[in-house]
Amino acid sequence: MADLTTFDFALRLAVGVACGALIGVERQWRARMAGLRTNALVAAGATLFVLYSDAVGDSGSPTRVASYVVSGIGFLGGGVILRDGASVRGLNTAATLWCSAAVGVLAASGRLELAVLGTCAVLGVHLLLRPAGRLIDRAPQHDPDTEGVQATVHVLCDRGDETHIRALLLQSLASGGLTPTGLRVRREDADTTGLQTVVAVTGNPAHALEQLIARMSLEPGIRDLHWHLDATPAEAERETVA
């Protein structure tokens, strides 16, 4: 048997749970998916697994168990990652759970001061780097692959809903940060009207336009709704030369 006493076991477990709980407090305060209890339980589980291997007296077992903990947290983190349209949510939550497990492993190994330092590092990333990330998001981005891209949105709607659909289209474009450069109205037949608008797109065109399509597709008067990217000036010049 190892020399791990009941007091040492309880102390390491308490530090591991406390560190995970501190990380979870910040997450729950931000109303994230994995909050106080989840991070505390992840840290507690990682601590208990490593403590068990230490208690049975196998000198090489704690290292192997720690590697298994990392793999197990990978499956747990995968459960909180969700796809939302063209974007992915939950990556930050999954990474936080991974860090909580690492803090628990440190506490179980008896390096309590390192576990506390690791907890402070995780909290510092969440509290200090969040404003920096927002500043970076607000900075203008110049991507030669998407700069100057134009897209055409086609809408086919009932004739009686033309005025409403046209106003909704322009409103949705404005709320999505898309700038219309032209709007064409075409009477297809006695019952339908076609609307065609060209918009200037910056950043990721698919993300912005798919959000527009998702909002507009809920209208009952719309019969057809799609979009396509237009050729950029450089592409048009190459096609002309060819």
64-116 pLDDT tens trace:
787 788 777 777 777 777 665 545 677 888 888 889 999 999 999 888 999 99
Whether residues 69 and 107 share a domain: the answer is yes
Q: What residues make up the domain containing 45? A: 6-138
Neighbours of 167 (CB within 10 A): 10
Whether residues 77 and 118 share a domain: the answer is yes
Number of domains within the chain: 2
Whether residues 31 and 131 share a domain: the answer is yes
The per-residue pLDDT of the chain, averaged, comes to: 79
For the segment 169-191, the average pLDDT, to the nearest whole number, is: 81
Q: Name the domain boundary from 138, 173, 202.
A: 138
> How confident is the model at residue 112, as a pLDDT?
93
> How confident is the model at residue 237, as a pLDDT?
43
Give the C-alpha separation, 151 to 206, whole Å.
Answer: 10
Residue among 94, 122, 128, 124 nearest 19 (CA): 122
Do residues 152 and 197 lie in contact, with contact meaning Cβ atoms separated by under 8 Å?
A: yes
> How confident is the model at residue 148, as a pLDDT?
57
Domain annotation covers residue 51: yes
Both tokens of 64, joined, read 């192997």
Whether residues 88 and 160 share a domain: the answer is no
Q: Is the model's pLDDT at 236 over the cut of 70?
A: no
**What CATH number does the domain containing 216 carry?**
3.30.70.260
> How confident is the model at residue 242, as a pLDDT?
36
> How confident is the model at residue 233, as a pLDDT?
45
Q: Is the model's pLDDT at 146 over the cut of 50?
A: no
Whether residues 23 and 111 share a domain: the answer is yes
Both tokens of 19, joined, read 């560190």
Q: Which residue has the higher pLDDT, 163 or 230?
A: 163
